[in-house]
Amino acid sequence: MPAYCLFLVKSVHDRDKLVAYWATAKSSFTGYDVKMLSAYKDFEVVEGNESFQAVVIAEFDTYENAQAWYNSPAYAPFKKLRHEGADFLSIIVNGGGGVPVEQRLLPASEK
């Protein structure tokens, strides 16, 4: 079942660091089945108060492989470079449909 890494750029501190990241980070994907679905394309925040400058969505073959890549020694130096360049909200999400209604979020009174 596929999984998705979402990177939402909140603010940029050092564009040169991001340029270096963009030029080199792709090498960290070696050994992982990953497709770049969208990177720095037009987008619109349609709900919420958050402000983002860019969105990146990468598809991995499995949730475990997405986690393994993100936490890998191969990606670590690139992750550091990315963090030095900008603030991100980063999410790994399992794909493949939804969870049955009865297994979804607890009511507010049960948290």
CATH of the domain at 76: 3.30.70.100
Q: What is the DSSP letter of 20?
A: H
Number of domains into which the chain is organized: 1
Over the stretch 61-102, which tens digit does the pLDDT of each residue have? 999 999 999 999 999 999 999 999 999 999 999 998 888 888
CA dihedral 22, 28, 33, 36 (to 10 degrees): -10
| Residue 58 counted as domain residue | yes
Determine, yes or no, domain membership for 35: yes
12 in Cβ contact with 53 (< 8 Å): yes
pLDDT average, residue stretch 14-22? 95
Residue with more model confidence, 100 or 30: 30
Which domain does 89 fall in, by range? 3-94
Tell me, yes or no, whether 100 lies in a domain.
no
Residue 21 — very low, low, confident or very high, per pLDDT cuts 50/70/90?
very high
| Domain contains 109 | no
